[in-house]
Amino acid sequence: METKQQLQTLSHAVISRIQSIGLPKTLRDHVLAEDVLRNHRGYLIPLCYALSPAFGKLEHDEQVTICTAIFLGAMGVYALDPVLDLQITGHGVKKPISDSFLLISASQHLLSEVIPPKSRFWKKYQERLKDHFLEIELSEVSESDQREWNQAAYHELLKFKYSLFYLPLDILFHLTGERAKTNYYYLREAFFQFTIGFNIPNEIVGFTSDSSLGLKNYAWVRLAEYLEKEKLDKHLFTTEELHKLIYLSGIATELYDEALQAFEECLSIVKPMKLPLFEKIVNDRIKVTFKEKEALKTYLQNIS
């Protein structure tokens, strides 16, 4: 079966599973809205399914249940973003917090259908959840942190920021008797490279908003090096001017190259495992990132 057809078949199965579990209609309509599905059916919904050949055979119904659980859990975590924004800015929460808990609860319920409550998997699940929400605290800038803010520190922060992204690996590893240890460890490294490639564009685009919120931003690592080299005082610039400087100095282009390199490293790790669907997910992200890099040329002409 071709990968495109596989994705469509799986997506339909996940939608049917969500429709069957009794979420409130407004919440169900939200997670099944076409724009939401369009954003996630290319990588988040099929992620677990795409990785399963590296671990061993699972029944189709189990795979659909796990994919649905991962998707709903992610939607639940995303729904908490306004709460985290409230913690930082003091502004009001825009969506009901209950949406988040309902989705995370539904995700956990689905996972409990295939993973017994007393399984040691749940300890790992709790660790992943705790690390994800610890990230917001670790992201806050302090003077001492800023002096030590470098690529290594950014990579360490990403492990917290995307801790829940590793859940599909944990689930598959557990359900197949923890036999594929080598693939599990290699895929964790591949996932880490994927998160670097996935997140760097967000750092470039989000520089101004992160700065206003007092959050660490990786683009600042490169910008600080540039300012020091050019003997420029950051206090002479507004945040918006510093953001423009990231583009005008060529830092943005270098960061996009770094993201593309991370995706290529991810592919090189998974190549021996023969995971064509996962490779498609990565290659699709490469195409998106490359287009964004090429769009810099037009942007530079407009701000020069």
- Per-residue model confidence as pLDDT tens digits over 169-202: 999 999 999 999 999 999 999 999 999 999 999 9
Q: CB 268: neighbour CB atoms within 10 A?
A: 11
Q: Would you state the pLDDT for residue 26?
A: 87
Cα(91)–Cα(294) distance, integer angstroms: 36
Tokens of 75: 């939607």
Q: Would you state the pLDDT for residue 2?
A: 58
Higher pLDDT, 23 or 65: 65
Q: Does 88 score more than 70 pLDDT?
A: no
pTM score:
0.83
Are the beta carbons of 190 and 212 closer than 8 angstroms? Answer: no
pLDDT over 90 percentage in the chain: 59
Angle at CA of residue 53, ends 52 and 57, nearest 5°: 80
Listing DSSP states for 163-230 in one string gives GGGGHHHHHHHHHTTT--HHHHHHHHHHHHHHHHHHHHHHHHHTHHHHHHHTB--HHHHHHHHHHHHT
Partners of 215 in beta bridges: 140
Are the beta carbons of 103 and 73 closer than 8 angstroms? Answer: yes
- pLDDT, tens digit (0-9, with 9 covering 90-100), for 240-252: 999 999 999 999 9
How does the average pLDDT of the chain come out, rounded?
88
Residue whose structure tokens are 């197949």: 176
Q: Does 89 score more than 80 pLDDT?
A: no
Q: Does 1 score more than 50 pLDDT?
A: no
Residue whose structure tokens are 């992160």: 210
Partners of 140 in beta bridges: 215
